[in-house]
Amino acid sequence: MTMQAISEAQLHALADDVLPEEQRATIDAYLRAHPDDAARVDAWREQNRQLRVLFDPVLDEAVPPALLQMASPPAANGAWQRHVMQAAAAIVLVIAGGAGGWLLRGGDSVSASASPPSLARSAAIAHAVYTPEVRHPVEVGAAQEAHLVQWLSKRLGTKLQPPALSPLGYQLIGGRLLPGDGDGPVAQFMYEDGKGQRLTLYVAKERAGRQETAFRYTQEKDLSVFYWIDGQLGYALSASLPKQALGKIADAVYAQLEQAR
């Protein structure tokens, strides 16, 4: 029997718990037969959980007094309508700014709507999701590095090569394929030092025409991220390290990637 084609939208709907009940049995059967897609759905669910942890507390914050004042109806109906519209617009901006720039607090001043901050945010979430894993931090271990590189290169449509960071005390432990933000899948390489400290290199395809290549840095609590775009790929290096220490590793990563081109 031929299995019905399953769309990406249906998989996302399952991960977001909005899939119609009548489709659930079909999707469940498909995922049992396609473990790679099942792993992607599990990753999306975990990312959703991480996002809820980050943003749910905002729902309990008090509404800013300025917005409350703007929402209070003035005497004139026309003026009241303008105030309501202004308040609605302000709320939308507050929400958009919070969702787009949560990772940028304390970092360099960059546009929250641009691709590089989105790259850093996605990399940080992926780092937070997978580095705590003890038994399954990666899909393919470093013992199968050749297979790992070939697999991820094929899925991203470009040759990849994880940098060698052993001179800096970090050994590659493996990598995994992750869902991207609309430009296709992304790769995550994970490294670990002798003390169990982990760092990740997140590699994503970038849309054509983006010219920004400078190193950028941002920080969320104790997680530091250096990120940059080089040609058709965007890179983000994440670790719970001071800026200077992670910057040294980022320089080494960039140098090796340049040599491999």
Quick one: pLDDT at residue 153? 92
Quick one: pLDDT at residue 111? 32
Quick one: pLDDT at residue 97? 41
What confidence tens digit (pLDDT) does each residue in 226-255 have? Answer: 999 888 889 999 999 999 999 999 999 999
CA distances in angstroms from 211 to 22, 60, 115, listed in the order given: 46, 40, 11
3-state secondary structure of 181: coil
Over 80: is that where the pLDDT of 126 sits? yes
- Per the CB < 8 A criterion, the answer to whether 202 and 174 are in contact is no
Quick one: pLDDT at residue 164? 94
**How much is the mean pLDDT over the chain?**
76
Lookup result for tokens 């400078």: 214
- Per the CB < 8 A criterion, the answer to whether 98 and 55 are in contact is yes
At residue 103 the predicted structure's pLDDT band, cuts being 50, 70 and 90, is very low
Cα–chain center distance at 92:
22
At residue 207 the predicted structure's pLDDT band, cuts being 50, 70 and 90, is low
3-state secondary structure of 189: strand
Mean of the pLDDT values across residues 47-60?
66
Quick one: pLDDT at residue 41? 85
Q: Which of 102, 110, 106, 173 is nearest to 136 (CA)?
A: 173
Please provide the size of the chain in residues.
261
Quick one: pLDDT at residue 212? 56
DSSP H helices, the chain, are 8-15, 21-33, 35-59, 65-71, 77-101, 115-130, 145-156, 243-260
At residue 167 the predicted structure's pLDDT band, cuts being 50, 70 and 90, is very high
Cα dihedral 119, 121, 125, 126, rounded to 10, equals 10
Over 60: is that where the pLDDT of 80 sits? no
**Poorest-confidence range of 54-58, 124-128, 237-241, 247-251?**
54-58
d(CA 122, CA 87): 30
Beta strand 186-192 pairing with 198-205:
antiparallel
For the four alpha carbons of 250, 256, 258 and 261, in that order, the dihedral sign comes to negative
d(CA 233, CA 129): 22
Reported pTM:
0.58
Cα–chain center distance at 163:
20
